[in-house]
Amino acid sequence: MVKGSAGQALIEYLILFAFMSLIALNMVKGMGGMMSDSVRSIGFQLTQQLTIGVCEEECWYSDYQNRTK
């Protein structure tokens, strides 16, 4: 082994590790944003369903005061 190339593999592994870490971090950020959007959408739908409360059939909550009969 050439004396000057002994540290080259270490540097290559460090660069590869940094690159993979960057990819993993961006994936986690993307999934977090997707989860946040999904929870926000579900929260909005539940708010609409539970505050309006007018449905002719298949109501989620049968004790609505303004439920159509």
Neighbours of 55 (CB within 10 A): 15
Choice between 38 and 61, residue whose per-residue pLDDT is larger: 38
pLDDT value, residue 24: 96
Kindly report whether the global pTM for this prediction surpasses the value 0.75.
Answer: no
pLDDT value, residue 58: 62
Q: What is the pLDDT of residues 27-60, one digit of tens each?
A: 999 998 888 888 888 888 887 777 665 566 666 6
Neighbours of 8 (CB within 10 A): 10
Burial 39-54 (b: 16+ CB within 10 A, else e): eeeeeeeeeeeeeebe
Task: Locate 53 and state its tokens.
Answer: 């409360």
Whether the pLDDT of residue 63 is over 90: the answer is no
pLDDT value, residue 44: 83
Give the Å distances, CA to CA, from 64 to 22, 36, 44, 45, 53. Answer: 50, 29, 18, 17, 6
